[in-house]
Amino acid sequence: MCLGIPGKVKTVFREHDVLMGKVEFGGISKKVCLEHVADVQVDDYVLVHVGFALSKIDEAEARRVFEFLEGMDQLDELSPPPIPKEWEPPERHRARESQSYVAQPKTIAGGPP
């Protein structure tokens, strides 16, 4: 299912002659194309689908939609991606990470006690 996610416009700017903006979605900001809502201003709310703001909406509607999507667990694209298993450090690195890095004195055979 494809959903539009409500966000609050934080900045508006032109990039390569295209109206763009930084839009905040529950604490996460993304760059969004604003060409379809050319009259948008900072602090307006927009409905965003795949990086394009499709329409302006009021704050109450934005809050209702965001809470609904959050309750339906449909905000995955706003979460950071999981770290792939192959990127995790090997077991020996994990064991080393859990050890203290405080230098311990070493005894050398035949040296002073």
Ordered by where they begin, the domains of the chain are 5-81 (2.30.30.140)
For 41-108, give the secondary structure using H, E and C. CCCCEEEEECCEEEEEECHHHHHHHHHHHHHCCCCHHHCCCCCCHHHCCCHHHHHHHHCCCCCCCCCC
pLDDT category at 27 given cuts 50, 70, 90 is: confident
- Report which secondary-structure segment, H or E, holds 11: strand 5-15
Environment class of 48 (CB within 10 Å of its CB; exposed 0-12, middle 13-18, buried 19+): buried
According to the per-residue pLDDT averaged within each range, which of 25-29, 51-55, 109-113 is highest? Answer: 51-55
pTM: 0.61
The Cα–Cα gap between 78 and 58 comes to 21
More confident residue, 65 or 61: 61
The Cα–Cα gap between 89 and 84 comes to 11
